[in-house]
Structure 1
Amino acid sequence: MKTSIATVSISGSLVEKLHACADAGFDGVEIFEPDLIASDHSPEEIRGLARRLGLSLDLYQPLRDIEGVDEATFTENLRRAAATFATAQRLGIGTVLVCSNVATATVDSVEHSAEQLRRLGDVAARYDVKVAFEALAWGRFVDDYRRAWRIVELADHPSVGVCLDSFHVLSRRHDPAAIEDIPADKIFYLQLADAPALSMDVLSWSRHHRLFPGEGDFDLATFVAHVLKTGFDGPLSLEVFNDTFRQTDPDRTAVHALRSLVWLKDKVADLPGVGRGASLTPVADAKPPVGFDFVELKAEDTSDVEILLEQLGFVPSGRHRTKPVSLWTSGDVRIVLNEHQARDLDPHVAAVGLQVPDADATSRRAADLMAPAAYRRTYAAEQALGGAVAPDGTEFFWVTAPPAGSPPPWVAEFENGLPPASDGLLRQVDHVNLAVPWQTSDEAVLFLTSVFGLSADAPTEVAGPSGLVRSQVMRTDDGSIRLPLNVAPQVLETADMPQHVAFACTDVVAVARAARARGLRFLAVPDNYYDYVAGRFGVDADTVAELRELDLLYDRSPDGTFVHFYTRTVGSVFFEFVQRVGDYDGYGTDNAPVRLAAQRVRSTG
């Protein structure tokens, strides 16, 4: 099935957009009229450029406020439409999008609108152009695709059909099942966009907050399945109005967009009654990760991190035999410290290792989804890891999960170390919190969803000293992988937003006492916080005193309790130790403002 994208979905001039779409691998594009108007290239030159780039020009849009008007207004509208059709003809485009009237409609009648669309079809036919009529979600009288189809059905003109747009259907919570009642040859075009679930006027929602498939809350796979069951075989086309994508690099955004369609086609093919075929190119199937394998911190000098790890009970378990890389362990938890090619870099989370059921399958899936490969120099006697680079630059690697109790094979490459520490207190990596730039946060969600099969929790906002921090957790269903993505307030650079690695403990109080005995400096928690804990949760005085003594934080939900502490920040990374009691499944979100304020006090002296 062909892929297409509206030029409004990415930044740049029209020529730059066409090059970006072609380089990414799209089959075609929709030309957004303002892009052509602002271009210094004639329609014929754009047509020729698209042909040289191997792009079809699939749609010219939009033609607004045509039907549902009085005769005098409609006469002027036909003149305006003829000029648009002439431009489409010069571009070599055979379909023009006509939106339902939002501004000048005065006649609320499907028969009246149908009669005017029939006459519009007569004009379109003279230019060898077809009209795809779309019900805008904020249309004055036509805001439902079912009403738009009824109007087209009554118009009964070979040059008049419908355009189905997922945003306009799903934002109004209209049931898409009736799409299957529309004959395939009357569905002239299909436009797709995802979006977050927001409570706001639908026009603003549409103009500023659309997303690529896989990044929002719409069930696009089911929507597309309804369309395909009609026999529709036109392109899957993206029309995404989004303030971020209009500012970011068009080449990167175009690849990001195409990845979303590849993912969507794969999801559609898995639905009952659809199936895979030539129109839905399969993506390699790979099961989600089953656990963390390692976390890598990179810096020119990792000695400060080594001191911190030693205070936390980790031991040095070897030096890599060919690279300036060391391994620190506690039980089955592995932290890799990398000083290779790290000049002028402060400590930061550079890579996350995952254990997956089948590493080769994950590698094939990542390649099918155009995930950029992560390169590491590997010698003959060393294990090559599958890897991809996330949108924020963090590298993700994966290995096939070894048998229970056995380390992965790559651990043997580290020599002359101590046996792993094992006091039974440290269980596993609980979560890795990554700071992502605002302009790649949506792309990061798609990357983790599509490549690794993670799901996105609802985003939350945390108040910090420098503004709101937006956080969204990507995770497996069983919680074995949790990756909170934090977007810093725009007044901060992403580098000023620390990352952290959280470890799950069986007894966080014992871990804290042992770490303090080894000289660990905890992140200081203000006394006011403990007064708040005592009042809010009714915690007894002895427990509050213990929390206060060890700078521990506390949270409770109906499912259980959560106790945790933070270390000081080294470079841009710090550690957290957590104990989940019962079925507590959160992250102590209400404690985050306390942590952010304490970190700001330390950073400002």
Structure 2
Amino acid sequence: MNRPAPLPKDSREALGELPNPLGLQGIEFIEYATAKPQTLGQSLERLGFRPVARHRSREVLLYRQGDMNIIVNAHRAPEDPPLPDRAAIAAVAFRVRDAASAYRRVLELGAWGVPTQVEVMELNIPAIHGVGASRIYFVDRVGEFSIYDVDFVPIPTVDPRPPAIANLHLFGIVQYIGFDRLADWCAFYGELFGFAELPAEQSFGVLTQGRILASPCGTLYWQLIEPAPDAIDIDPEELLQRVAFGTPDVLASVAVLKARGVDFVESPSGVHSGSRGALTRPSDTGPTFEFVHDPR
């Protein structure tokens, strides 16, 4: 995944000085939609996540480790299209200073709001349309009282705050975009949320194509990848493709995860695990995840 070289000590403060009109403070949760929640759950558990709560009225589970929350959504209303067998990223929730004001601001800037239908004992979380069929939510209820206290019921005997294994933390999101759409998506994330484009020559990890946007809070990176210019068949689909986790020691984390049954791409002449990064092998049991060296 592209990313600047290790930053100086005061770099996070410098990134934090970027305009941050929404008071963005990283990601509250990532939501996957799937018709096979058990197989995705197994994949997440091998990564160290644990199911900690169930939704009150829908077939939805909350998985957590450390400060990371992943929602597995297998709920489908009769009028909804079929859920995908292979898990797909359906939504990202940004932590913001004030969800209502953040929502109003992005609508004024041209974002498309998503009408929400909530049941009794559910929160109305404001959202806009993201890439493809995905949504971007705005959440300001974090800390001791959060959205999960309203919408979810804790699973008995389960630690609600399982620690992160191998020092894993959320690093960023990889998004596939259409050909010649880079400027459009840079403007979308820049104008609505305050993301800033990093120099094209800076890269990080084992997959170095694309461009990286840095969040104004200095905690999150967003990678935009166009089709290869020499591709014969250009896939026009745009989507959130994978999640990237940061770790201070990629090879140590890979060793821990391999012992837990995680399979990594290992090609002597191509992508393979190294000190810069690693990539899990795609399979029927779960999506691909990326691991990148992050010294923070």
State the TM-score, normalized to the length of structure 2: 0.76
Q: What is the CA deviation profile of residues 99-138 of structure 1, one whole-angstrom value per residue up to 9, with x for unaligned ones?
A: xxxxxxxxxxxxxxxxxxxxxxxxxxxxxxxxxxxxxxxx
Distance (Å, rounded) in 2 between the aligned partners of 1:372 and 1:570: 34
Match of 1:487 among 209, 215, 226: 226
Contact 1:433 1:484 in 2 (8 A): yes
**In structure 1, the residue corresponding to 2:187 is in which secondary structure?**
helix
Distance (Å, rounded) in 1 between the aligned partners of 2:61 and 2:25: 24
- Does 1:348 find its partner at 2:88? yes
Of structures 1 and 2, the one scoring higher in RCO (CA 8 A, sep 6+) is 2
Contact 2:173 2:240 in 1 (8 A): no
Match of 2:189 among 423, 448, 453: 448
Which residue does the alignment assign to 1:329?
A: 64
Distance (Å, rounded) in 2 between the aligned partners of 1:529 and 1:470: 14
**In structure 1, the residue corresponding to 2:100 is in which secondary structure?**
helix
Superposed CA RMSD in Å reads 3.2
Match of 1:578 among 288, 292, 296: 292
Q: How far did 1:579 drift?
A: 3.0
Distance (Å, rounded) in 2 between the aligned partners of 1:481 and 1:453: 12
Contact 1:288 1:453 in 2 (8 A): no
- Does 1:511 find its partner at 2:253? yes
Contact 2:34 2:88 in 1 (8 A): yes
Q: What is the CA deviation profile of residues 213-250 of structure 1, one whole-angstrom value per residue up to 9, with x for unaligned ones?
A: xxxxxxxxxxxxxxxxxxxxxxxxxxxxxxxxxxxxxx
Q: How far did 1:309 drift?
A: 0.9
Contact 1:382 1:410 in 2 (8 A): no
Q: How far did 1:471 drift?
A: 1.5
Q: What amino acid does structure 2 have at the position aligned with 1:384?
A: N
Match of 2:273 among 528, 549, 552: 552
Q: What amino acid does structure 1 have at the position aligned with 2:153?
A: E
Which residue does the alignment assign to 1:428?
A: 169
- Does 1:301 find its partner at 2:22? no
Which residue does the alignment assign to 1:565?
A: 278
Q: How far did 1:389 drift?
A: 0.7
Distance (Å, rounded) in 2 between the aligned partners of 1:411 and 1:564: 35
Measured at CA, do residues 407 and 518 of structure 1 come closer, stay the same or move farther in structure 2, by a change above 3 Å? farther
Which residue does the alignment assign to 1:366?
A: 106
Measured at CA, do residues 393 and 439 of structure 1 come closer, stay the same or move farther in structure 2, by a change above 3 Å? farther
Which residue does the alignment assign to 1:415?
A: 153
Q: How far did 1:367 drift?
A: 1.6
Which residue does the alignment assign to 1:382?
A: 122
Q: How far did 1:380 drift?
A: 3.5
Contact 1:312 1:511 in 2 (8 A): no
Q: How far did 1:333 drift?
A: 0.5
Q: What is the CA deviation profile of residues 428-458 of structure 1, one whole-angstrom value per residue up to 9, with x for unaligned ones?
A: 3100111122365433222211211111224
Distance (Å, rounded) in 2 between the aligned partners of 1:514 and 1:448: 35
Distance (Å, rounded) in 2 between the aligned partners of 1:354 and 1:292: 5
Contact 1:357 1:401 in 2 (8 A): no
Measured at CA, do residues 524 and 494 of structure 1 come closer, stay the same or move farther in structure 2, by a change above 3 Å? farther
Measured at CA, do residues 354 and 344 of structure 1 come closer, stay the same or move farther in structure 2, by a change above 3 Å? closer
Distance (Å, rounded) in 2 between the aligned partners of 1:484 and 1:347: 20
Superposition pairs for residues 191-340 of structure 1, below 5 Å?
Answer: 286-340=21-75
Between the two proteins, the alignment pairs up a number of residues equal to 263
Contact 1:332 1:427 in 2 (8 A): no
Which residue does the alignment assign to 1:500?
A: 242
Report percent identity of matched pairs.
21
State the TM-score, normalized to the length of structure 1: 0.39
Contact 1:298 1:339 in 2 (8 A): yes
Distance (Å, rounded) in 2 between the aligned partners of 1:411 and 1:428: 23
Measured at CA, do residues 400 and 327 of structure 1 come closer, stay the same or move farther in structure 2, by a change above 3 Å? same
**In structure 1, the residue corresponding to 2:264 is in which secondary structure?**
coil
Please state which structure has a larger fraction of its residues in helix. 1
Which residue does the alignment assign to 1:247?
A: none
Q: What is the CA deviation profile of residues 552-583 of structure 1, one whole-angstrom value per residue up to 9, with x for unaligned ones?
A: 223xxxxxxxx32211224794112233237x
Measured at CA, do residues 422 and 289 of structure 1 come closer, stay the same or move farther in structure 2, by a change above 3 Å? same
Measured at CA, do residues 423 and 480 of structure 1 come closer, stay the same or move farther in structure 2, by a change above 3 Å? closer
Measured at CA, do residues 388 and 516 of structure 1 come closer, stay the same or move farther in structure 2, by a change above 3 Å? same
Distance (Å, rounded) in 1 between the aligned partners of 2:238 and 2:94: 26
**In structure 1, the residue corresponding to 2:288 is in which secondary structure?**
strand
Contact 1:374 1:387 in 2 (8 A): yes
Contact 1:392 1:444 in 2 (8 A): no
Q: What amino acid does structure 2 have at the position aligned with 1:369?
A: L
Q: How far did 1:391 drift?
A: 4.4
Runs of 5+ unmatched residues, structure 2: 1-18
Runs of 5+ unmatched residues, structure 1: 1-269, 271-284, 463-468, 531-550, 555-562, 583-605
**In structure 2, the residue corresponding to 1:364 is in which secondary structure?**
helix
